[in-house]
Each structure stands twice: as C-alpha cells, then as structure tokens.
Chain A
Amino acid sequence: MTEKTTTYSSTKEWLLTDTPASALQAAAGRAYLGLLEFLKNRLAVLGLMIIVALVFVALFAPYIAPFDPILTDLKHRLLPFSAEHFFGTDELGRDIFSRIIWGSRLTLYVIGLVAIIAAPVGIIVGTVAGYFGGIVDMVLMRITDIFLAFPKLILALAFVAALGPGIENAIIAISITSWPPYARIARGETITIRNSDFIRAIRLQGAGPIRIISGHIMPLCLSSLIVRVTLDMAGIILTAAGLGFLGLGAQPPSPEWGAMTSSGRSYILDHWWLITMPGTAIFVVSLAFNLLGDGLREVLDPKSDN
C-alpha cells in the first residue's frame, strides 16, 4: 500500500478533504460544513451575534458599565436619557444602562445553569426509558408525565414558594420544570434509533446497555436536544424574569431584568424607560435565542436533512 503525503494549499482544502488523516481533521471538516450551512441563515447569524455580544457584555461588565449598578443616588432619580445616563436612571437614582449590563450576568447564570441541570437529566431519563422499554419506560415516563401535567410557571412558583425566594432557588425550580420535554424528545429519538441496524450491530459485538446508550444513542439525540434547549432558552429567560417580576427570583437590589421591570411598573406612565429598557433587553435576548435555535435546527436536526 502506498502512503500518500498530501499537502494542502489552503485551510479550506484541509477541511474539505475526502481523506482525513486523523479523527480531529474528520471532525473539523464536518463542523466546517455545518458552519457553512448555518451561515446561510442570516437571521440565525444575527441571533448568534446577539448572544455572543451578551456573553461579551457579561464577561466585561465591570469595564463596560459606567456606574455601580446598586449604588443609589437619590439626587439623580428618574432622569431621562442623557449622555451621562444612556438609558436614564431609576427610582433610586441607579443608572439603568449599568444595571442592564450587570443584569446580563444574572441572565446568563440562570440559562446556563438551567441548561446544565435540565438537559442532562432529560436526556438520561429519555434514553434509558426509550432503550429499555417495558416497565422501566413505564415508570420513568409516568414520572415525566406528572411533571408535564402542571403549567411550568405555576409549578416553578410552587417550588420557589417552598424553597424560599432567591435566584438559586429560582434556577432549581425552573430546572425541575424544564427537563420533562427533553426526556420526551430523547425517548422518541431513542425508540426510532433503538431498532436500527447499527445498534443491532454493536449489540452483536457484545456491547452492554451503558456503552450503547452513552456512546451510540446519546450523540444522535443530542442534536435535536440542543435545538430544543436553545429554543427553550427564550422561555427560561421569560420564566426567570416572571419569577423576578413576582418577587420570587433575584432579590433587590440585584439588577435582574425581571425584577427591574417589576419595580419600574409603578412609574410606567411618567417614566416609561424604567420598565421599557429591561423589557427590551429580555425581548432582544429571547428573540436571539429563538433565531439561533431555528438556525441550529436546520443544521443539526436530522429530520430536516437534505
């Protein structure tokens, strides 16, 4: 057999080669093609850019925000837009722009933790139920159904009421209410994958259930789950904001966007920016996640393959 030494004239060629020399190159090539597909969807790219901006803002909040977000300054309360206070100030004289900047950290914190808790729980419950079927499936899915039976916000409210208000408890409550749909999706995918030839093949190689579920089934459920989680992010932000609005999420004086809209409510007629600015932030970020989710679906979801 002759070993060919190939030289690539460009990175693009290296990525698109039909004969990758390592697993890394193969994966990179695959990712590149996915990226090309993703970039075709302008709105999704816009969504991604907003989210990247959000992460950037959250990381560098201390450098971007011109004021301390919790420092009250009653001399300058309820100021409209100005060169000094871009978004004006609130009822305690805090700079709204700075509060929104710092609030992005809380938003990211919430959605990040919820995704890290809810998605893995959902995928594990779903794949295990789907793969084993029978009594295991019955028990796990009935538990899932119980959680699904309650409206999300009401259940989260109940949990927060029981655990006590605060951002950590809000995250736990939202996570507990978000995993059941993921379990359903993962189970559905698993059932279609379970009987395919490549799963039979690995069973005939002697692989056990843990290896099959983690190495063979989960990677295939992952893409539709990522899409779903991304689309759900908007809902999670809204639920977190809702809890904040009701006073059950982040506690004052922390600059959580939902809590900010709540406290701005009393000034809505004369000082509209108090409620509009954080509201717009919630809207923009939710929309960005929705756009990104739609774009990811086109790239990742095997059902929309062409």
Chain B
Amino acid sequence: MLNISNLNISFGHGSEKNHAVKDISFKVKRGESFGLVGESGSGKSTVLNCISGLLNHWQGTIKVDGVPVSQKRDLAFYRKVQLVFQDPYASLHPRHTIDRTLKEPLAIHNFSDINHRVEKVLREVDLGSQFRFRYPHQLSGGQRQRVAVARALILEPEIILLDEPTSALDVSIQAEVLNLLQDIRKERNLTYVMVSHDLAVISYMCENCAVMSQGAMVEMISAKQLKSGNLTQNYTKQLFTASKGYDRAAIDLFQDF
C-alpha cells in the first residue's frame, strides 16, 4: 500500500546543513499498522511530513498503491492519505465550529450529502450531535482529538498518518482514542503509519515498527519481538529499559547515542 525507499531530506545550507532523514526505506501492507519510534530529533515526524506532503524537497521514492507520488500533490492524493496531528489544541481552527471544520474538506472535494456525512462521522468517533456546533475551546483534549480523527476520516482515505495522536492526552483518554483508532482500522480496513515515542503504545497499535535515531533507521522490529524484548541493537535495548519506569541502578548504565 505504501512503499518508501531511500527517503532523504535535509534542512539548511552549508555548515548549518542538517541531514534530518537518512536513507529511510520501509513498506506497509494494506490494513497494516506500522510504527515509527524514536526520541525527539530522530526524524520520525519528518518522515511523516514527507509522506503527507507538508514537506516537498525530499529525495527518494514514495509510492502509494504502487503509484509514485510527486513532490507536488493533487486533490486525489489528499483523498487517499490523511494526517492526524499530535496536539489537538493546535490542530483545530479556534474560531471555527466543529461543524465548519468537518464540512470544509467536503466542500473542497465537492462531496454531496454534506450534512449526512458530518453526522455519520461524528457518530463514528463517538461524539454526539450536541458537539457539532461547539467551538474547540468548549471541548476537552480527548474530544478535540476525536474531532481531528473525524476530520481525517471524512474524506474516506485509505492511509492515515498518525503523528503521536495521544501524547498530549491523559492516559485514560489515550486508551479511549487508541481503542477508537483500532476499531476504525478494522471497520474500514485502513492502513496506519504511526509515529510515537512510547514503546507501549507502538506495541499495542502496530504490527511492525522502525526504530529511528538521529535521522537513520536503527532497526526494524515486529511487535512480537518488542513484546518479548528480543532486540538486537543497544539503542533499542536502552529505550526498552527506560520505558519500564524509574530504576536508579539502570540509569547509570545509560549511554549517549
């Protein structure tokens, strides 16, 4: 469904040049959920931005459904690939009601039956119709993220890119949103590419994941390997230990990578 090979991108020029993504390649099957794990500055979100079309000076190949996408995207691409942002407090227009936020993409793509679609997608993300005419500031973080998911779903895409969709949310809300994302994936047979720094979330959501550090891929592991702690690279092992909670003795053994 999604095929990335030798993706490269750098920012800045000359001595300031920062090679943010170095030769990343991976494949995601239809209906699969693929994770990108790493710490801040590892380039995981940058990969997502290249795929989504937010960044367009990358090199390499990105194929969606076997068709290579160009640097400049057309409307048809946006109907196939949608992105859910990390921070639900920043990703909704503060002066637009939920209703307007959801109707806008439908208007851009000339969908018919707009009202019906808005109602349907709100039901799908478990938000009642009483939320429809609220402004974002009248919603909680979890409700906002549901709206953001609804906005991504409303164009009926096949691939959804998830950029740390729950890292700004409380744990109890995180569980609800993760459940929702899993349900929708099953129902619509969606393909996910999910960025996260949280190994537990990746282990729960994804079948395979790539571990990234400083723009490069450290290793590619399956969820099974992750669950059993069967890791080969020291970097991944350290990340794994750190995710287990505070352990004074283990911390002294940490290395810088």
Asked whether any CB of A lies within 8 Å of a CB of B in the complex, the reply is: yes
Q: Are A204 and B93 in contact (CB under 8 A)?
A: no
Contact A198 B109 (CB under 8 A): no
**Inter-subunit contact B90/A198 (CB<8 Å):** yes
Closest to B52 in A: A204
Q: What is the distance, in angstroms, from A94's C-beta to the closest C-beta of chain B?
A: 50
Which residue of the partner chain B has the closest CB to A196?
A: B90
B104 at interface by CB-CB < 8 Å: yes
B83 near A1 with CB under 8 A, answer no
B135 to chain A minimum Cβ distance, whole angstroms, is 6
Let me know if A52 is at the binding interface, CB within 8 A: no
B108–A4 touching, CB < 8 Å = no
Question: How far apart sit A300 and B151, CA to CA, in the bound complex (Å)?
Answer: 28
Cross-chain contact B54 with A197 (CB below 8 angstroms): no
In whole angstroms, how far apart are the Cα atoms of A3 and B123 in the complex?
13
CB distance from A301 to the nearest CB of B (A): 14
Q: Spot the interface stretch: B61-69, B125-133, B201-209, B246-254.
A: B125-133
Q: How large is the interface on A (under 10, 10 to 19, 20 to 34, 35 or more residues)?
A: 20 to 34
Report chain B residues within 8 Å CB of A200: 54, 85, 91
Nearest to A215 among chain B residues (CB) is: B104
The answer to the question of A30 belonging to the interface, with a C-beta cut-off of 8 Å to chain B, is yes
Q: Which residue of B lies closest to A217 (CB)?
A: B93
A30 engages B135 (CB within 8 Å): yes
A206 touches B90 (CB 8 A): no
A253 contact set on B, CB distance < 8 A: none
- Of A18-26, A42-50, A100-108, A175-183, the segment with at least 4 beta carbons within 8 Å of chain B is A18-26
Q: How far is the CB of B177 from chain A (nearest CB, A)?
A: 17
Q: Which residues of B contact A201 (CB under 8 A)?
A: 83, 85, 91-92, 148, 151
**Chain A positions 138-188 with a Cβ under 8 Å from a chain B Cβ:** none
Partner of A197, one of B90, B109, B129, B134: B90
Per the CB 8 Å criterion, the residue count for chain B at the interface is 37
Instruction: Decide if A271 is an interface residue (CB 8 Å cutoff).
Output: no
> Which residue of the partner chain, among B91, B104, B134, contacts A19 with CB atoms under 8 Å?
B134
Residue from A20, A211, A216 in contact with B108 in the complex, judged by beta carbons closer than 8 Å:
A211
User: Out of B53, B54, B92, which one reaches A198, CB within 8 Å?
Assistant: B92
Given A1-B128, A197-B87, A200-B85: A205 touches B104 (CB 8 Å cut-off): yes
The stretch that binds A, out of B94-102, B185-193, B220-228, is B94-102
Chain B residues with CB below 8 A from A23, complex form: 97, 99-100, 133
Could you tell me the distance in whole angstroms from the C-beta of B180 to the nearest C-beta in chain A? 16
Find out whether the CB atom of A206 lies under 8 angstroms from the CB atom of B75.
yes
Whether the pair A205, B78 counts as a contact (CB closer than 8 A) is yes
B115 interfacial contact with A, CB 8 Å: no
B105 within 8 A of A: yes
Given the known inter-chain contacts A198-B91, A211-B108, please indicate yes or no for A18 contacting B134, CB distance below 8 A: yes
Taking the nearest CB of chain B, how far is it from the CB of A83, in angstroms?
A: 53
Could you list 14 further interchain pairs (A-B, Cβ under 8 angstroms) beyond the known A18-B134, A25-B133, A207-B104? A4-B130, A23-B100, A30-B135, A196-B90, A198-B91, A200-B85, A201-B91, A204-B78, A204-B82, A206-B105, A206-B108, A216-B93, A216-B96, A220-B94
Could you write out 6 A-B pairs with CB less than 8 Å apart? A1-B128, A3-B129, A200-B85, A202-B104, A205-B78, A215-B104
Binding site for B on A (CB under 8 A): 1, 3-4, 18-23, 25-26, 30, 196-198, 200-207, 211, 215-216, 219-220
